[in-house]
Amino acid sequence: MERIELTAAWAEGQEVLAEVTKESGVRASKCYQCGKCTAGCPVAFAMDKTPREIMRLVQLGLMDEALQSQTIWLCASCDTCSTRCPREVDIARMMETLRIIAKRKGFVAEKKMDLFHDLFLKSVEKNGRVHELGLILGFNIYGMQPLKDAHFGPSMLLKGKLSPLPHTIKDNGEVKKIFANVRKRGGKL
């Protein structure tokens, strides 16, 4: 049986927690594991670890396990978890921070998830909103399956479900400023 020095393990976990708290601005230590985040999460059924479990891993300083989880990449950032949290822990923001750290440390659960995330953000930066057709085409082309969803295209275009051209918001300059600010502060998208 292996001996574990609990004091050292606890201290290391607290250092990791402090680092993540500083980077995200979210105090994971406030979470008391009620599970409301998981109960309200629309994609929890597809996750390998629930949002509550990810928060617990962060609290315990088990970052490698949290960063290797598919959950951080499946999170839709809908903010349902953050809105429902009785302790006002911004779990969606924590998930985004974990994605950034995972990319920095080379922990990407699936390259396709990372690709989708990058293309989604580029679309929002360029148009102020997502251009669905451009996102699908880019994802399929970069994923080396250019014709994967082509059979859906004609009927969706005819029904007006997809726009061939991107629509931009009125003041797209403000969205671009947000992205520029993130980069200016050393953030990565």
Residues 92-129 pLDDT 10s: 999 999 988 888 888 876 777 778 888 888 888 999 88
What token pair was written down for 38?
């998981």
- Judge whether residue 189 has pLDDT over 80: no
Q: Phi/psi class of residue 144: alpha, beta or left (left: φ > 0; alpha: ψ in -120 to 50)?
A: left
Whether residues 19 and 83 share a domain: the answer is yes
Q: How many residues does the chain have?
A: 189
CATH number for position 56 = 1.10.1060.10
Residues 133-188 pLDDT 10s: 888 888 888 878 888 888 888 888 888 888 888 888 888 888 888 888 878 877 66
Whether residues 35 and 79 share a domain: the answer is yes
Residues 1-55 pLDDT 10s: 566 555 665 666 677 788 889 989 999 999 999 999 999 999 999 999 999 999 9
Whether residues 143 and 101 share a domain: the answer is no
Whether residues 98 and 41 share a domain: the answer is yes
Is 188 among the domain residues?
A: no
Whether residues 12 and 98 share a domain: the answer is yes
Give the integer Cα–Cα distance in Å for 168 and 152. 24
What's the total number of domains in the chain? 2
Whether residues 24 and 54 share a domain: the answer is yes
Up-side HSE of residue 5: CA atoms within 13 Å toward CB? Answer: 4
3-state helix, strand, coil in the chain (%, to 5): 65, 0, 35
The predicted pLDDT at position 72 comes to 92
Residue 153 structural domain: 111-181
What token pair was written down for 184?
């200016």
Whether residues 99 and 127 share a domain: the answer is no
In the listed set 105, 133, 160, which residue is the last one of a domain according to the structure?
A: 105
In the listed set 105, 121, 156, which residue is the last one of a domain according to the structure?
A: 105
